[in-house]
Amino acid sequence: MKNLITLITLFLAPVLLLAQTDCKPFVPLKKGAKWELTNYTQKGKETGKTAYELVDVAQSGSNTTFTIKTTSFDKKGKETYTNQFEAYCKDGKFEFDMAFKINAESMQSYQNMDVSVDASEYVIPSLEVAPGTTLPDGNLKVTVAGGGPLNINITVEVTDRKVEAKEEIKTPAGTFSCIKLSQTISTKTIMKVQGSSTEWYAEGIGLVRSESYNKGGKLTGYSELTKLEK
């Protein structure tokens, strides 16, 4: 009986801790969980996929850190880029490390080079937050070491973040209750490119769908959850 109680306690510990802090994580809770997002053109033609795996869940006091591995593939299924980022439950709030916004397509040429990342947090509010609520900006700077002035700098700024609505989204992986967010995205390498995006996040899962638009508001592509193994 004692061993059974210990086992149950260990199994429930992450859930109980998150409940006590009122944090609603937008990632799977079980270590080893895997999920996949497929990328499409505006006309629905597949351009590649990104596979995710929850490789670690660590707790420190009332805070929880989720470590997530990503592997990107091109439209032919060839691996193009791997990355790792973290997500957190801190003081009852959930946030991603902005490193999850790294564009795999633009980074594949630097896969074997010295890359450093300076990322801010990217807050995802609970489903109960009212439409119209504004959210903190996010920023990301990626530096590819080329030596002296040859360094390559890529910056991403996410501004004008706002809660739009609570919506139900259906994808090949299922139907999910989501919070819908909108934002402006500015990316700069040699020149600056500005656009916007709309994203849908589900509790216990994460990003379910995203849509990208150019500066003129025209849809340029979208991604959606196509595989989920919790």
From first to last of its 230 residues, the chain has per-residue pLDDT tens of: 434 333 333 333 344 344 445 799 999 999 999 999 999 999 999 999 999 999 999 999 889 999 999 999 999 999 988 888 999 999 889 999 888 777 656 555 555 567 677 788 999 999 999 999 999 999 988 887 765 566 778 888 999 999 999 999 999 999 999 999 999 999 888 788 999 999 999 999 999 999 999 999 999 999 999 999 98
Enter the pTM of the model. Answer: 0.84
- In 33-131, the DSSP E strands lie at 34-41, 46-60, 63-74, 79-90, 93-97, 115-119, 121-124
Residue 177 phi/psi, 5-degree rounding, is -85, 120
Q: Is the dihedral of CA 67, 41, 219, 186 positive or negative?
A: positive
| Structural domains in the chain, sorted by start | 2-229 (2.40.360.20)
Nearest to 50 by CA among 213, 206, 156: 206
Interatomic CA distance for residues 230 and 221, integer angstroms? 27
DSSP 27: S
Maximal CA-CA distance, the chain: 66
Residue 229: strand, helix, or coil: strand
- Express each pLDDT in 115-159 by its tens digit: 677 788 999 999 999 999 999 999 988 887 765 566 778 888 999
Taking a C-beta distance cutoff of 8 angstroms, is the pair 143, 115 a contact?
yes
Interatomic CA distance for residues 195 and 159, integer angstroms? 11
CA distances from 204 to 31, 71, 105, 123, 178 (A): 12, 20, 27, 15, 11
Structure tokens that stand for 106 in this block: 């633009």
Nearest to 48 by CA among 35, 58, 38, 61: 38
